[in-house]
A and B are shown apart, each in its own frame.
Chain A
């Protein structure tokens, strides 16, 4: 009889509907939303879903771009939602919503097992946890000066970038390889079509994705040294919410009369918020584990009758440290700007920005390196920039690599999904300079040039002109001078020697992509002549043709 009673009580609604189980459901839900956003950001799946919303609700993106540009772009006002929730419930975002936080918690749960006594020690507050506030101060000061670097460490940007350029292509590749093996065994693998499953074209590649991957792998592995290492030590978004959560209405409260100082509340404390003593509001993730673990029912998440002594509302960061972080932020700005690769005098010819991009210094004050544009690009031409093209300041921002793909004439997906307006939302009409944009002309990404020493008709008496064939503008920006010659084998051949009409070239790069001289292309596009920048234009005027 007693056993049955126990069984019934273990199955009771009260046990199953524990607040921590509800939290796990919420985490699963938001993690699925995140994965769906990454998956659905693809030309054949974008059925009007707001695929960038997960980036647009990030209040750090809203606040930092507001500091750097003075305005709130398009849907970034959604960040207020998270700020409002934080004012009500504290840092619930960190442990209920944030997919990166869930990833860390899951990895810790899976691999970081230990005795309760050890875990209690691991989950005590450590003084190093102030570091995230210093990072936030540095990043916000940088943003205010005009160099937006939050994307390096903002959890949503970081995770989006890593999934788009590392995890998604890895998934594609595994599906592709399995499907090839099955093909070789004469199995029907239509159900394993990588175009259906993985979010890719056939075999997408991303330059430098190894480093992006190493970055996230390293941070996730750090969970084994300090639980929730990233969230507790580095996360600038967590720091921002931590500053705000001192005002939150609901919070964890300890009833000192019920508490027996057993410290069991620390066994699963995600934020290292010291619920056993004076609870640190800025550190608490509101994960509710402590309430679950308290054998005396001394802990509650409450709005009323809060203990006003057993609480530390503000982050533990001394004024000296705050001053130091501010000075560091001020010093970092010229330090990365003077690197000298993003000036109008010394910019890299390979720094070709996607169509709709704003002028370069403005671009760098808006791009959060989330690589959502790179994920959306159907031809794989958009790549995360390396130090070589964009310097430290522009690391992992989008650039076009025309050896890999070209910019499709009637595609504006990157501008559609950009959450911050670094790539301003444009229409196909505006991109091509048609209709009401006739006056201002098409958006030019750069200009094509010939290396006549490598071009087959120019240098080797061999017909070719794939470049002219694929040139998509009308009339074509690649024209030919046709000559009939007797070649070295005494055969009469007609050579169509191509040349560029710069007035017509929009820098889409398809000539470079399709050029058969594959290692160093005989026709290539560089950034000069891009229409987004007055300083980087090439022609005094564009001549009218036809």
Chain B
């Protein structure tokens, strides 16, 4: 091998670039420059163009979700509202459900069922601020065993720390014991939901993740006093599926609660009248605020069942809160429960 000379040496051999290399370099530079120029400056409708003349192309496109109607027609011989007041909690629930045609009429084998309890606060179950875990456990067992549901999901978006609320309200333990699956709201669990006809929540952030492939939805609501809107029962319970700036809802709470009945058409509303929060609601905080109600209701009409519970469990007479009338006006049900309630006794 020839030893190369230092560059100062007069006989140092230069190796100039070949023509081929030169052309290749020109082509590469030109190609890259041309492609970049095209992508950055070509009109917006040309293929591969990245130009954004107005700055609006980069605004993320939100495609809102729509919720299904989860209702099931009740059997003709049954009534709209079932009431159970005898026996233990399981017996009460069974009686209430039998009056509206039995749970197996509504839930078919292999259904994925979502149960929405009220787990809004970090409270123990005896304070009446959250759904009764015993009732939830019985319900989940009925769904999995009697109705042979494929999966039972339990979800809520609490006001306080989700992990704590589910644990200390007893809902987590009850659900896990019976074989349900808990969904906690993490920051990615929300999507924009469209509710046609709603006054104020036409588009709002919705806790969508547990709703993937769900066939039936059951609300499991406690009966609670509520300073601003009078009472928090079955309809108000759906509040817990929304996210975003929920604290603006109080500026027109009656419109919001009635909007919720447009948003969610549940298969069933089960009203948990075992612990009724009579005052200092919706948070409660003292056992003296709670009265044993000894009733469980199941209904296909979310408005009527709330009206009945308002009158008989909260004992507030027929001076119903405004949102019940608004929900009726929006076609979600009717307040007049007379002749539509059946209590199975004996």
Contacts and interface: CB of A to CB of B under 8 A. Distances in A.
Among A44, A406, A463, A469, chain B packs the most CB atoms within 10 A around the CB of A469
A475 B227 CA distance: 12
A183 interface: yes
Contact of B251 (A183, A464, A468): A464
Given A44-B163, A201-B162, A475-B280, A176 B228 contact: no
B15 interface: no
A476 B186 contact: no
A176 B186 contact: yes
A379 B280 contact: no
Interface stretch (A131-139, A152-160, A189-197): A189-197
Nearest to B212: A188
B334 interface: no
A87 interface: no
A230 B234 CA distance: 60
A61 B161 CA distance: 32
Contacts of A463: 228, 250-253
Among B160, B163, B212, B248, chain A packs the most CB atoms within 10 A around the CB of B160
Interface in A196-226: 201-203
Contacts of A470: 159, 283
Contacts of B288: 474
A194 B251 contact: no
Nearest to A475: B280
Interface in B147-175: 159-164, 167-168
Contact of A203 (B163, B187, B280, B286): B187
B250 A43 contact: no
A107 B252 CA distance: 58
A471 interface: yes
A195 B186 contact: yes
Interface string B114-134: 000000011110000000000
Interface stretch (A266-274, A393-401, A407-415): A407-415
B199 to A, nearest CB: 15
Contact of B245 (A408, A462, A516): A516
A183 B209 CA distance: 10
A496 interface: yes
Contacts of B248: 516
B283 A408 contact: no
B252 A378 contact: no
Among B167, B228, B280, chain A packs the most CB atoms within 10 A around the CB of B228
B188 A456 contact: no
B227 A194 contact: no
Contacts, number: 106
A534 B288 CA distance: 32
B185 interface: yes
Contacts of B284: 474
A469 B228 contact: yes
B196 to A, nearest CB: 24
B315 to A, nearest CB: 19
Contact of B188 (A176, A406, A469, A473): A176
Contacts of B49: none
Contacts of B245: 516, 518
A470 B160 CA distance: 10
A518 B244 CA distance: 13
A240 B188 CA distance: 47
Interface residues of A, number: 45
Interface in B131-146: none
B282 A472 contact: no
B283 A464 contact: no
Contacts of B168: 410
B186 A193 contact: yes
Given A462-B251, A463-B228, A464-B250, A408 B188 contact: no
A494 to B, nearest CB: 9
A8 to B, nearest CB: 44
Among B168, B228, B250, B253, chain A packs the most CB atoms within 10 A around the CB of B250
Contact of B122 (A193, A409, A456, A464): A409
Given A409-B122, A474-B285, A476-B280, A468 B227 contact: yes
A202 B122 contact: no
Contacts of A42: 163
B188 A180 contact: yes
A195 B184 contact: yes
A469 B164 contact: no
A496 B229 CA distance: 11
B164 A515 contact: no
A480 B228 CA distance: 10
Given A180-B188, A464-B251, A474 B164 contact: no
A469 B227 contact: yes
Nearest to A379: B161
Interface in A63-105: none
A367 interface: no
B184 A496 contact: no
A464 B250 CA distance: 5
B164 A43 contact: yes
Nearest to B232: A469
Among A462, A470, A510, chain B packs the most CB atoms within 10 A around the CB of A470
Interface string B335-346: 000000000000
B160 A466 contact: no
Contacts of A514: 159, 247
Contacts of A386: none
Interface in A453-508: 456, 462-466, 468-476, 480, 496
A272 B226 CA distance: 69
Interface string A44-64: 100000000000000000000
B227 A465 contact: yes
A179 interface: yes
Nearest to B167: A44
B186 A496 contact: no
Contact of A43 (B163, B226, B247, B253): B163
Nearest to B184: A195
A179 B190 CA distance: 13
B157 to A, nearest CB: 10
B188 A179 contact: yes
B89 interface: no
Given A378-B163, A408-B122, A474 B186 contact: no
Contacts of B167: 43-44
9 contacts: A44-B167, A201-B162, A408-B161, A410-B122, A410-B123, A410-B168, A464-B251, A475-B280, A476-B280
Interface of A: 42-44, 176, 179-180, 183, 188-190, 193-195, 201-203, 378-379, 406, 408-411, 456, 462-466, 468-476, 480, 496, 510, 514-516, 518
Given A201-B162, A379-B160, A462-B251, 15 more contacts: A43-B167, A194-B186, A195-B162, A409-B122, A411-B164, A456-B251, A463-B251, A465-B227, A469-B227, A469-B283, A470-B283, A472-B285, A474-B289, A475-B280, A510-B160
In the complex, the 10 A-B pairs of residues with the closest C-beta atoms, listed nearest first: A474-B285, A202-B187, A474-B286, A378-B161, A44-B163, A516-B247, A466-B247, A474-B280, A180-B188, A202-B186
